[in-house]
Structure 1
């Protein structure tokens, strides 16, 4: 588990730049306007947002 966004440094990503964790083996947790979801769900729905953490 790696925390990405922190209170002093927020990391945002649009739908085209969503990170792939370990080539798709891991997941990124993204906070979007439709709620908190994985990077795969956000890509499917065409959403970007704040990258909270990586899980691998």
Structure 2
């Protein structure tokens, strides 16, 4: 889980950094959107794996 989060953070930082260099803001939007989507998926997986509270 932490590896996925680290990979996501690295991917976003690389995307944002690269887009600032190339001044292509669509890549910033894509990187942020991808990060939010990955975070949402990880949260859903975490909720799914939680033991049910009876």
Whether these two folds match at TM > 0.5 is no
Q: Which one has a larger percent strand, Structure 1 or Structure 2?
A: 1
Q: Which has the higher helix share?
A: 2
Work out which of the two has the higher radius of gyration on C-alpha atoms and give 1 or 2.
2
Q: Normalising to structure 1: TM-score of the pair?
A: 0.28
TM (norm. structure 2) is 0.29
